[in-house]
Amino acid sequence: MTATAGAPSITASIRAEIDVILVGFARLSAQSTIERAAGAMIAALAAVNKIMFCGNGGSAADRQHLAAELMGRYLKDREPLSALTVDTSALRAIGNDCGYLEVFARRLHGVGRHGNVLVALSTSGNSPIVIAAIEAARTTGIVTVGMIGTKGGRMDELYDILIKVPATRTNRIREMHIAVGRKLCDFVEDALC
């Protein structure tokens, strides 16, 4: 397959896209809040507390992935670390009985305790159910760690620790969220195992 006149080749397009990714990750690496988030997670788990994750839409898959890395194993054979996310049965039951806005908040009120950490992911920074979860966490004494994009949205000022990735497009934000999340798992595992 060859490029049509005036159109970039697929190879040039791939290189340009990777260059954008590299620039974003280089800017992300300067954030000290990643280390602060890892410290909060390590302290919580060392004190026999738990890490809870929430995220809506595409961020739901990321939250499940990160909880599984801690509960299962990341890079080391070890005992499971206490990491939770809402399961599909609870999500459906709470959504049906209390309204979808309550799916994370209600779970936090039920199982969250002072000393836990909530890691909340949102590409837009405006997800109402994630905002409700953050507000529930704050009333319970749960430390909140937020991962959002450059624009921040309504969540920009709600977190105890904010990791604002340098991207505005959803796909770029999610790439950085999962990379940061996996690095947090790496820090936690190295510190505790």
Total domains present in the chain: 1
- Pick from 128, 86, 127: nearest CA to 109: 86
Task: Answer yes or no: is 125 within a domain.
Answer: yes
Task: Answer yes or no: is 132 within a domain.
Answer: yes
pLDDT, residue 140, reads 92
pLDDT, residue 183, reads 95
pLDDT, residue 29, reads 83
The CATH number of the domain where 119 resides is what?
Answer: 3.40.50.10490
Task: Answer yes or no: is 2 within a domain.
Answer: no
Q: Give, for all 193 residues of the chain, the pLDDT tens digit.
A: 455 666 678 898 899 989 988 998 998 887 889 999 999 999 999 999 999 999 998 999 999 999 999 999 999 999 999 998 878 898 899 999 999 999 999 999 999 999 999 999 999 999 999 999 999 999 999 999 999 999 988 888 899 999 999 999 999 999 999 999 999 999 999 999 9
Task: Answer yes or no: is 3 within a domain.
Answer: no
User: What Rg, from alpha-carbon coordinates, does the chain have?
Assistant: 18
- Could you tell me if 121 and 104 are in contact, meaning their C-beta atoms sit under 8 angstroms apart? no
Task: Answer yes or no: is 152 within a domain.
Answer: yes
Task: Answer yes or no: is 87 within a domain.
Answer: yes
- Could you tell me if 184 and 146 are in contact, meaning their C-beta atoms sit under 8 angstroms apart? no
Domain that includes residue 54, residue range: 10-192
pLDDT, residue 3, reads 53
Query: What is the DSSP code (8-state) at residue 141?
Result: T
Residue ranges with strand state E in the chain: 51-55, 83-84, 117-121, 143-148, 161-164
Task: Answer yes or no: is 179 within a domain.
Answer: yes
pLDDT, residue 7, reads 66
pLDDT, residue 6, reads 63
- Could you tell me if 143 and 119 are in contact, meaning their C-beta atoms sit under 8 angstroms apart? no
Question: How far is residue 17's CA from residue 12's CA, in Å, rounded to a whole number?
Answer: 9
Question: How far is residue 96's CA from residue 94's CA, in Å, rounded to a whole number?
Answer: 5
Task: Answer yes or no: is 1 within a domain.
Answer: no
